[in-house]
Amino acid sequence: MAKKDEKTANKSTAKRGAKAYDASSIQVLEGLEPVRKRPGMYIGTTGSEGLHHLIWEIFDNARDEAMVNRCDDIEVALLPNGYVRVADNGNGIPVGIHPKTKVSALETIMTTLHAGGKFDNEAYKFSGGLHGVGASVVNALSEHAKVVVHQDGNMHMQEYKIGKSLAKVKKIGTTKSHGTIVFFKPDETIFKEGIVFSFDKIVNHLRQQAYLVKGTRISVVDAHDDERAFEYERIFIRETELDVPSMTFYFEGGLKSFVSFYNKHQTLINKKIFYIEKEQDKVIVEIAFQYIDDITPHIMAFANNIYNPEGGTHITGFKTALTRSLNVYGRAANILKEKDENFTGDDVLEGITAVVSVKLSEVQFEGQTKGKLGSTEAQSAVATVFGSALAEFLEESPDDAKAIINKVSLALRARKAAKAAKDSVLRKGALDGMTLPGKLADCQVKDAEEAEIFIVEGDSAGGSSKQGRDRRTQAILPLRGKILNVERARIDRMLASVEIRALIVALGTAIGDVFDISKLRYHKVIIATDADVDGAHIRTLLLTLFYRHFRQVVEGGYIYIAQPPLYKISRGKDVRYAYSDEEKETVLKDMGVASEDVSEVEDGEVEPQPEAEDAKEEKDTKNTKPKRVTKVNIQRYKGLGEMNPSELWETTMDPEHRVLKRVRIEDAQSADRIFEILMGTDVPSRKSFIQSNAKLANIDV
């Protein structure tokens, strides 16, 4: 009977097509194997963000030394062949034998998860790396790593391959310095998009850190073209004779300098920057803020100097105290009358630039990437310290206080007017999702994951794309002209725009406080504008709209930019498309028509130049017939409307052949600044930006 039951069970398993689940099914991952098996759990992604996260993890270890006053100089250097070098003048990682692991403490830290000095509150009162996985995770995801420690007059070194030590820690010389140098080369089998570091991204991140650890010198060195960078055993490359690009940051003003830098060239509301640093219930609270003439808030949150893009408990405490304090002052100063309603959180945040930093001994983040602070004690500490200091600031700075209250009062009135306008629009049914705009040619599928919408420029492009599309999955929404610049526009002005209203209804998410990402009707929102200056402007206006009012759509990876070709090149039956001038030259060369052989371009026709007279004479003497020259036809597309439906499908809309660029937010703070500069009212900053980046632009003249 038992055998029969066993056979029945095996048949049942076979029917399900599954392997039997027994003790052998349980995997035990040893050492650093879990990191390589699931790298996303530790660094978020194996794309560019995760690649740079490796640098942040090692840098954070050095930065934590600075936070406990054991280090005041840190250097990050890019080396040849994808290597990174992070050095500091701290005490150096201990190299003695660890009592539990029976190997060097250095090897323990580099090869064991959840091992490090951050668990010891006596060694590190405040640190960002309380999980104890930073150095070991970087080591696990690197094909090669090396650590050199300068300590107690000696230099020690150990090398690793894919997280495993190649030999014991060994002494390699003597030294008068102290500190740690970490080399690592990310593993290309993990980071399959390629090992490409962005110098600008690193500079921006480390500049930010220099504001947070005032009095610490932080340098970035680009030595990726100089092999000699590997040879130096000195702590810092910048002290050698290498002539390589570098940048150094050092700020005594801390967060005040940070706010001042961010608000450079802005119209200031309160001239004096608010600043407070104080310890409350074993939590160090440091806050700086200033209002500018803008409607968008810019709040940067940090816990133990780790940037928290999603905020957390410290931001909750900040917003609560700010709202309460301004309401109390507004009532006391009789600016808010008895009949007036209180300021809301949205009112007091309009136009504020704030940096909120807390330091805790037992910090709790939501997730390994530390995007959101979860420590409850931070909320009460921030609310108490900030609330008390702000009340004092408002009393001692009456001119700034009046300017702030007037700014917030204006925001309150504008919010009420915008709400009335929005409610009026909603009552008319323009955004109720029941009736789609007439200009929208919708697709047949209802599954958002399959559906995609092309936002095209003008009726002619709309006509071609509607005829050339796949009606089952592709929707077309033509926009007429340039939409409203929403960088400084409130929602009532936006809803007055027919084009923006049509786009909002087509997307299905609504907008503002009723926005709902789950109702997005298309999981590919494709901006398809012409490849000229006007097209680029329209694309920028659309991106500004999405970034400011449909942020979750951008963050979800649903926004794409189509890449239509610039040229159609045909020679006989050989037809090809070129997406740039460089690609056009390559195609012509491949067809046997070099650019110097082209005599003229007129009505799309290009003919090779006539052969030289001496070449003709030579052919005549050999009694050979001249080779027949086939005309090369080059069509320069000035817009999508010039392409017939089949061409548009083949080059821009066919999922099998098209090229789409997904819009990502790699650095939200930098993105904020770029949108402000390009689309705001700060003319000097925009002029400076254009002059600095003019050489990078592809200009269609």
N-term to C-term CA, the chain = 87
Catalytic residue among 530, 647, 667, 676: 530
Report the C-alpha gap between 199 and 53 in whole angstroms: 14
Q: Give the C-alpha distances (Å, rounded to integers) separating 399 from 332, 395, 402, 414.
A: 15, 10, 5, 23
Report the C-alpha gap between 137 and 86 in whole angstroms: 15
Helix (H, G, I), strand (E, B) or coil at 6: helix
CA atoms within 13 A of residue 483's CA, in its CB half-sphere: 31
Burial of 246 (0-12, 13-18, 19+ CB in 10 A): middle
Q: Give the C-alpha distances (Å, rounded to integers) separating 282 from 277, 361, 378, 382.
A: 13, 8, 10, 12
Active site residue 516: no
Active site residue 377: no
Active site residue 432: no
The dihedral sign for the CA sequence 394, 400, 402, 408: negative
- Ramachandran category for residue 604: left, alpha or beta (phi over 0 → left; psi -120 to 50 → alpha): left
Catalytic residue among 159, 532, 585, 700: 532
Burial of 26 (0-12, 13-18, 19+ CB in 10 A): exposed
Report the C-alpha gap between 278 and 285 in whole angstroms: 5
Task: For Cα atoms 556, 558, 560, give the angle at the middle one, nearest 5 degrees.
Answer: 135
What phi and psi values does residue 380 have, to the nearest 5 degrees? -70, -35
The dihedral sign for the CA sequence 379, 380, 383, 384: negative
Report the C-alpha gap between 307 and 372 in whole angstroms: 9
Q: Which residues, listed in sequence order, are joined to residue 145 by a DSSP beta bridge?
A: 160, 184
Catalytic residue among 310, 450, 534, 607: 534
Find the radius of gyration of the CA atoms of the chain: 31
Q: Residue 126 is encoded by which pair of tokens?
A: 């405040």
Q: Residue 120 is encoded by which pair of tokens?
A: 């010891």
Q: Residue 659 is encoded by which pair of tokens?
A: 């090229």
Q: Residue 363 is encoded by which pair of tokens?
A: 């910090």
Active site residue 452: no
Catalytic residue among 57, 107, 294, 457: 457
Contacting residues for 169 by C-beta, under 8 A, at least 6 apart: 95, 104, 106, 107, 156, 157, 158
Report the C-alpha gap between 324 and 301 in whole angstroms: 20
Report the C-alpha gap between 386 and 403 in whole angstroms: 19
Positions marked catalytic: 457, 530, 532, 534
